[in-house]
Structure 1
Amino acid sequence: MKVRISLNEMLIERKMSQHELSRQTGIRQPSINEMCRNQTQRLPLNNLAAICKVLNCEIVDILKLEKEPTD
């Protein structure tokens, strides 16, 4: 199983830029960019809480657990 961050989709839905999310949450823009590209290795809980607050959503709206394809 793999955790996928669907932050990029949420930003597109809300017509919000990564820069704006960074400004409103206080999270560095490169960190948000990594989350949007699913390249982040660590996601501090306080960052996740700040994102949920700004986007007015739940954690499950951002983090998705997906099955990895079997060969």
Structure 2
Amino acid sequence: MIKVNLSRIMGERKLKIAEVSRKTGLHRNGITKLYYEKTDGIKFDTLEKLCKALNCEINDLLEIVEGEQEEE
């Protein structure tokens, strides 16, 4: 399973969804879905914008977690 660490990163930096939306130009709804891990995919362009805005690497944002089942 792929885990999205956006909520952790934003929490550490005390960023709100609206701030990340403003910094990236991405729609709030898309960021919210990623924040709550309620999405089934992500575009490379979105990854790039998030990484640049948050000053992080892709592997900081996404990770593969072995042995965990996806919530249905």
TM-score (norm 1): 0.91
Match of 1:25 in 2: 24
Task: Give the percent of matched residue pairs that are identical in Structure 1 and Structure 2.
Answer: 30
Residues 42 and 15 (structure 1 numbering): CA distance in 2 closer, same or farther, change over 3 Å? same
Structure 1 stretches of 5 or more lacking a match? Answer: none
Structure 2 stretches of 5 or more lacking a match? Answer: none
Which amino acid is the alignment partner of residue 38 of structure 1? E
Match of 1:38 in 2: 37
Match of 2:64 in 1: 65
Residues in 2 aligned to 1:4 and 1:64: alpha-carbon distance in whole angstroms: 5
| TM-superposed deviation, 1:42 | 1.8
Report the RMSD for the aligned CA atoms in angstroms. 1.2
Residues in 1 aligned to 2:40 and 2:66: alpha-carbon distance in whole angstroms: 18
| TM-superposed deviation, 1:68 | 2.3
Match of 1:12 in 2: 11
Alignment coverage as a number of residue pairs: 69
Secondary structure of 2:37 counterpart: coil
Structure 1 residue runs of 4 or more that deviate by more than 4 Å after TM superposition: none
Which amino acid is the alignment partner of residue 34 of structure 1? K
Secondary structure of 1:4 counterpart: strand
